[in-house]
Amino acid sequence: MTESFLHYIWQFQYFNKNELATTAGERLVILAPGILNTDAGPDFSQVRVKLDNISWAGNAEIHTRSSGWYEHHHHQDGAYENVVLHVVWEENKPVLRKDGTRLPTLELKDRVDKSLLQSYQKLVNAATDIPCQASFSKVEEVVHHSMVDKAAMIRLARKSGEVQKLLAANQGDWEETTYQLLAAGFGFKVNRDPFLQLARSTPYKLIRKHRTKIEQTEALLFGQAGFLVARSKDEYLAQLYNEFEFLKKKYSLDQKQLNPAQWKFLRLRPANFPTVRIAQFAALLASCESIFSTLIEIESYAKLESLFRVQTSGYWKNHYRFGKPSNGIVPEFGESSRDTVLINTVIPILVAYGQSRDDWSYVDRGVQLMQQISAEKNKITRAWQQLGCRGSNAFETQGLIELYNNFCQRRACLTCTIGSAILKPVAV
């Protein structure tokens, strides 16, 4: 027995309510089970019950055993003084209020259909990655779609929260925050951390001062990244080296460079090398006077896609690394890469900005943009596809990824509408 299962039982009232009584013998009528509280404090708020014909309004607290009240130190916490009902699987110890009166307690162990508990245990203990795999097709499609949409919004809200956190660290500077997040985005998973460190060591105000000259933008970024550490016979590398030496002294950038060893090249395709990504990032920054202002004003996916269709400087059209010409033309920043940055960086910035201004048109725009982006293809989306659940756009595949990672993998079936539908008793 788990508290999460008891939360589910109480929230949906899946127990026998005939002749309800507290463990002290008080006649009990449940008028409203309340609202699940996901923050600190009692488990359910806005609870209304009637005890021996006296109506009470307050909170309900859930424990597998009543002694949990003391084990969790609720008797010492003023936030629990307004608990009007203690809901437990088993009362192994009476709970007393501060005034010595007994806290009304409802014991559920003999009121829950054993088959419901067995179904729950079978579901969460399933050996498959998606616990409900065997029963998924029995659930109506409208339930699937509803949960995928909910999961997508949960994922978007979490990413928006990460934007807000970085914004606070940057004292509310949206331009600097956007610049740093885009840098991290261009690093993708493998080089995300060094890219973010690069942006933090090279303030956006410096980039903006020199953006009209791409060689100076590249000198700042490649120099701070640690790639311009010695003179070279390579003409362009020598030019960037000299440029960076001047800018480094001008802006006192000594001791702020990254170590080249921080960048990962191993097992990456050449088009994904960090040197190529830095060149593409430099080209993007050079194309906008103010990166945040530019992004926030674009309303269509086509224009966003066009903005990220960056053209690097000539050197990086036939080089993957300094001093080593490529055998062919270096690919541009591809569609898949653009969409990944839009999904994981640009749209969360848009949503966070809308939330900060209490202007939900930006949130709606973010969702609409994701619905215009092609569905993602990866291991997780393929797993759902095998169950007949195909995401038709990025908003839906983001929902499927969130559902898989933070519901299925955590066996949080009770907070998933699909799991709840599968477990719903035929009759209570």
Q: Quick check: helix, strand or coil at residue 189?
A: coil
Across 28-36, average pLDDT:
96
In the predicted model, is pLDDT for residue 92 greater than 90? yes
Give the residue from 169, 205, 206, 198 showing the smallest Cα distance to 182: 198
Cα(62)–Cα(239) distance, integer angstroms: 68
Rounded to the nearest integer, the mean pLDDT of the chain is: 95
- Model pLDDT, residue 192: 98
Q: What is the pLDDT of residue 255?
A: 78
Res 29: pLDDT: 97
Tokens of 21: 């009584």
Which residues does residue 324 pair with via DSSP β-bridges, in sequence order? 321
Tokens of 273: 């090398």
Question: Is the pLDDT assigned to residue 76 strictly greater than 60?
Answer: yes
Can you read off the two tokens belonging to residue 363? Answer: 């949130």
Question: Kind and range of the H or E element at 49?
Answer: strand 44-51
The CA-based diameter of the chain, rounded to the nearest angstrom, is: 92
Average pLDDT in the 336-358 region?
97
| Average pLDDT of the segment spanning 281-308 | 95
Residue with tokens 């079936």: 413
* Rounded mean pLDDT, 21-41: 95
Which region, left, alpha or beta, applies to residue 19 given φ > 0 means left and ψ of -120 to 50 means alpha? left
Give the N- to C-terminal CA distance of the chain in Å, as an integer: 19
Dihedral of CA 237/238/239/240: which sign? positive
Tokens in use for 147?
């949960």
User: Is the separation of the CB atoms in 195 and 285 below 8 Å?
Assistant: no
pLDDT at 376: 96
Q: Is the predicted pLDDT of residue 275 greater than 60, yes or no?
A: yes
| pLDDT at res. 427 | 58
CA distance 336 to 36: 40
198 neighbors 315 (Cβ within 8 angstroms): no
Q: State yes or no: pLDDT of 231 exceeds 90.
A: no
- Return the number of other C-beta atoms located less than 10 Å from residue 308's C-beta: 21
How long is the chain?
Answer: 428
Burial string for 367-388 (b: 16+ CB within 10 Å, else e) reads bebbebbebbeeebbebbeeee
DSSP characters for 268-332? Answer: --GGG-HHHHHHHHHHHHHT-SSHHHHHHH---HHHHHHHTS----GGGGSEEETTEE-SSPPPP
How many CA atoms within 13 Å lie on the side-chain side of 92? 11
List, in sequence order, every residue forming a beta bridge with 275; answer none if it has no partner.
none
Average pLDDT over residues 272-283: 98
Distance between CA atoms of 281 and 186, rounded to whole angstroms? 7
- Mean pLDDT in residue range 252-270: 92
For residue 425, the model assigns a pLDDT of: 85
- 167-191 average pLDDT score: 98
Q: Output the CA torsion sign for 66, 70, 72, 74.
A: positive
Q: Which of 65, 76, 3 is nearest to 37 (CA)?
A: 3
**Bridge partners (DSSP) listed for residue 188:** none
Residue whose structure tokens are 């120099």: 223
Please check the confidence at residue 343 and state whether its pLDDT lies above 80: yes
What percent of the chain is modeled with pLDDT above 90?
94
- Nearest CA to 350 among 314, 296, 273? 296
Q: 232: pLDDT confidence band, cut at 50, 70 and 90?
A: confident
Distance CA 410, CA 406 (A): 6
Q: Look at the pTM and tell me if it is higher than 0.85.
A: yes
> Percent of the chain, pLDDT > 70?
100
Phi/psi region, residue 141 (left: phi>0; alpha: psi -120 to 50; beta: rest), is: alpha
User: Tens digits of per-residue pLDDT, 181-194?
Assistant: 999 999 999 999 99
**CA distance readout (Å), 326 to 232, 282, 316, 319, 331:** 18, 20, 9, 5, 11
